[in-house]
């Protein structure tokens, strides 16, 4: 069932589409397993299908809808940092807002002009975004994201349909038909990807039991930084859109799991309150090998990426990193490391994570240190460019500073620094 405010949209859209196009789009999203990449692609493909200028995906958590991804071709044509816009903001699932109403009722909404809603309805349009960015929202199509079991996952909102000349027009009944069908398939894909992401984050929680700073927020930032750094690198090198999507799909998860090998390190070493011996430091360095071993039992591209990152994210551009070149990482006892890998011998994925992990560790508060200022960390990366880090990637990272800040704003640490300080104080540090 749809609701039409000032309904004049019983026309069918002149845009040429068919069932094959819809099925191809649905099949495309089913092949994306990374949760964030999936949400971004769903919003983009839905907008492309009905030629919408902008859109938002909200995710339902409890009784609220949280902004997840925002796209707007007029305001944010490159969409790099703005897709994280407002991600910490939420609205209640009730009848007062357009998206909240769709979520609560399970109905799609088709509105020709949000500033001219003349029907007697409970919801209204909030013009705060338009005022802040000098934008003019007009037509809206809102569809709830419901699973096969009718569970609410969120809301897909599309804004300002355009005709071939670029003029803003109402969405059509055909638009509603296509997007409602697409939304059902999208919700099922989201549910599947969400379960996979939750399993990955549970692995991170296991590591967090050993290392309290390996938090979900930290690894989400490292993963998001890595994807954006790769995206910028790929654009510079002319990598195809399909390959970018495929790599990002795997890179984010690999980056999230970069320190999974710490589960194999003794608490007596990880949480030792005094200085480590050389032998103990070497034991910690073995987390790279322990982590890589977890992903060597499969030939899937995901496992290959995870193995690359876990094994190599502490290698240095100049060859001074670890664990270096080891003929057989499955050997039962590895007491010495091999000669370090240099330059492009280090996989691109690991060179990326080396930068993003270091950056986040330095700008974050720790019980043993205050956070570094962001500009101080950028200077450090430049100073170590060509020594620890790939010089080209450092330059690209500095060029996406605004996106990096937007990611930091989205994934704020949820733990209490004071509690962690007390934890380490009890250990004697």
How far apart (Å, rounded) are the C-alpha atoms in residues 26 and 28?
A: 5
- ∠ Cα 209 213 219 (to 5°): 100
For the chain, give the percent of residues with pLDDT over 70.
90
Tokens 């509690």 belong to residue? 419
> Known catalytic residues?
262
Distance CA 246, CA 371 (A): 34
* Distance between CA atoms of residues 259 and 229, nearest Å: 19
Q: Among 200-214, 257-271, 310-324, which is the least confidently predicted range?
A: 200-214
What is the pTM (predicted TM-score) of this model? 0.84
Structure token digits, residue 91: 């609205």
Between the CA of residue 76 and those of 73, 87, 403, what are the distances in Å? 5, 16, 12
State the pLDDT at residue 2. 42
Are 290 and 329 within 8 A, CB to CB?
no
Query: Comparing 318 with 120, which gets the higher pLDDT?
Result: 318
Q: Which two tokens stand for residue 204?
A: 């991170």
Distance CA 51, CA 45 (A): 9
Per-residue pLDDT, 16: 46
Q: What is the pLDDT of residue 175?
A: 94
Q: List the structure tokens of 10.
A: 């019983």
* pLDDT tens readout for residues 355-375: 999 999 999 987 667 899 999
* pLDDT the model gives residue 57: 96
pLDDT of 253 > 90? The answer is yes
Q: Which helix (H) or strand (E) holds 352?
A: helix 348-363
User: What local confidence, expressed as pLDDT, does residue 343 receive?
Assistant: 97
pLDDT at 420: 37
Element (H, E) at 428: none
**Contact yes or no for 351/319 (Cβ under 8 A):** no
Predicted local distance difference test score (pLDDT) of residue 14: 40
pLDDT at 120: 85
Confidence of residue 127 (pLDDT cuts 50, 70, 90): very high
Find residue 56's DSSP bridge partners.
70, 157
Distances (CA, A) of 54 to 117, 222, 290, 328, 347: 20, 27, 45, 51, 36
State the pLDDT confidence band at 213, using cuts at 50, 70 and 90: low
- pLDDT confidence of residue 12: 40
pLDDT for the residue numbered 268: 86
For all residues of the chain together, what is the average pLDDT? Answer: 88
CA distance 392 to 397: 9
Q: How far apart are CA 251 and CA 429, in angstroms?
A: 35
Helical (H) or strand (E) element with 148:
none
Residue 304's alpha-carbon distances to 192, 240, 310, 343, in angstroms, are 22, 21, 10, 20
Per-residue model confidence as pLDDT tens digits over 155-204: 999 999 999 999 999 999 999 999 999 999 999 999 999 999 999 988 88
- Which domains does the chain carry? 2-192 (3.30.450.40), 211-427 (1.10.3210.10)
In 3D space, the residue among 311, 373, 384, 381 whose CA is nearest the CA of residue 346 turns out to be 311
**In sequence order, which residues have a C-beta less than 8 Å from that of residue 7 and are 6 or more positions away?**
110, 112
Q: Are 315 and 322 in contact (CB under 8 A)?
A: yes
> Which contacts (CB < 8 Å, 24+ apart) does range 342-346 have?
342/317, 342/318, 343/317, 343/319, 343/390, 346/312, 346/315, 346/317, 346/390
The reported pLDDT for the residue numbered 415 is 44
Q: How confident is the model at residue 414, as a pLDDT?
A: 53
The CA distance from 185 to 183, in Å, is 5
Q: Do residues 178 and 22 touch, judged by C-beta distance below 8 A?
A: yes
Please tell me the distance from the alpha carbon of residue 318 to that of residue 342, in angstroms, as a whole number.
Answer: 5
pLDDT of 417 reads: 41
Element (H, E) at 269: helix 267-270
Q: Residue 7: its pLDDT value, please?
A: 40
């Amino acid at each position: 069932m749809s609701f039409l405010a000032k309904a004049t949209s019983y026309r069918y859209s002149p845009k040429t589409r068919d069932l094959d196009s819809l099925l191809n789009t649905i099949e495309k999203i089913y092949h994306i397993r990374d949760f964030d990449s999936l949400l971004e692609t769903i919003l983009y493909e839905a907008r492309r299908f009905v030629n919408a200028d902008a859109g938002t995906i909200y995710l339902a958590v409890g009784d609220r809808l949280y902004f997840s991804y925002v796209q707007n071709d007029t305001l944010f044509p490159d969409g790099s940092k703005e897709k994280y816009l407002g991600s910490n903001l939420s609205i209640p699932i009730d009848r007062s807002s357009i998206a909240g109403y769709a979520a609560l009722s399970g109905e799609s909404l088709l509105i020709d002009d949000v500033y001219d809603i003349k029907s007697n309805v409970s919801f209204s349009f909030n013009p705060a975004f338009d005022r802040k960015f000098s934008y003019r929202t007009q037509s809206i199509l809102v569809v709830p994201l419901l699973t096969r079991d009718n569970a609410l996952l969120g809301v897909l909102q599309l804004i300002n349909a355009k005709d071939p000349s670029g003029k803003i027009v109402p969405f059509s009944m055909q638009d509603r038909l296509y997007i409602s069908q697409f939304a059902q398939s999208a919700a099922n894909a989201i549910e599947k990807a969400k379960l996979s992401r939750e399993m990955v984050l549970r692995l991170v929680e296991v590591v967090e039991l050993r290392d309290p700073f390996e938090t979900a927020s930290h690894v989400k930032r490292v993963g998001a930084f890595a994807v954006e750094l790769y995206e910028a690198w790929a654009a510079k090198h002319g990598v195809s859109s399909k390959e970018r999507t495929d790599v990002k799909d795997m890179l984010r998860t690999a980056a999230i799991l970069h320190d999974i090998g710490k589960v194999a390190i003794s608490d007596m070493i990880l949480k030792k309150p005094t200085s480590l011996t050389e032998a103990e430091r070497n034991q910690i360095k073995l987390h790279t090998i322990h982590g890589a071993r977890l992903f060597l039992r499969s030939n899937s591209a995901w496992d290959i990426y995870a193995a690359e990152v876990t094994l190599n994210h502490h290698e240095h551009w100049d060859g001074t990193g670890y664990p270096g070149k080891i003929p057989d990482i499955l050997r039962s006892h590895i007491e010495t490391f091999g000669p370090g890998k240099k330059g492009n011998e280090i996989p691109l994925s690991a060179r990326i994570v080396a930068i993003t992990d270091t950056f986040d560790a330095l700008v974050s508060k720790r019980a043993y240190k205050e956070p570094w200022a962001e500009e101080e960390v950028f200077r450090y990366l430049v100073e170590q460019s060509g020594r620890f880090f790939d010089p080209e990637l450092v330059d690209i990272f500095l060029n996406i500073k605004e996106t990096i800040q937007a990611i930091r704003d989205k994934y704020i640490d949820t733990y209490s620094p004071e509690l962690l300080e007390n934890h380490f104080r009890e250990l004697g540090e």
